[in-house]
Structure 1
Amino acid sequence: MKIAVTYENGEVFQHFGHTEQFKLYEVSGGKLLHTQVVDTNGSGHGALAGLLAQLGVDTLICGGIGGGAQAALAEANIRLIGGVQGNADEAVQAFLNGTLAFDPNVHCTHHDHGEGHSCGSHGCGGHCHE
């Protein structure tokens, strides 16, 4: 299993489409084998799902994420664990232990689209252009 976490300064970065790094965790038999921090090289939004697929990722742990990016991850057969906050290493360990708190209905609530549209309090409802 290969898990990716949106990553910044040891924490789960809170907006998938703007993450500059992923921390990758290679896991076998419930044990952590290897970790690596990977730069996104400016890839944004939908392109990030393709990058994760190329890296062999099958599970993503992140904070906020929009509907378009969720669809791209689903198309790439990458399991989404969203709405996660805090330390990235601890989040992965909690996931492996089956104790990670996450939001199965996560939507983007952490950013401004820069297109005159802001998610505001309605949480996007899947119409974000990720």
Structure 2
Amino acid sequence: MATFETVDDYLASLDERQRTAVEEIERRVLAVAPDATGVIRYDIPTWQVGGHSLVHAGAWKEHVAVYPVPPEGDADLDRDLAPYVAGKGTLRLPYDDLPFDLVERVVRRLLESRG
């Protein structure tokens, strides 16, 4: 298994569909959290704010996994996330219909939950 030093290294290892998806996720993260910094944690892209991990995104064969699932408390968001929750703390977002607006809402909720 490859290990990556930078987000660019990770992106370079992906096929076009995967790379395009992760790049758009990065754009959405930065739209909500412009001070976020992209690093590699757990061998996948991670965006940190204030030196603390905010959100991770890993490209898989049929989906992008986004971690963590934000805490419950926003009924509309909780409902919209339900079809994508796969296991504790993981969202599986299919490439064919990747809900980028939902990614923005997830990042916003993760930021809000930090207080």
Coarse TM-score class (shorter-chain normalised) = under 0.3
Greater helix proportion: 2
* Length-normalised TM-score, structure 2: 0.27
* Length-normalised TM-score, structure 1: 0.26
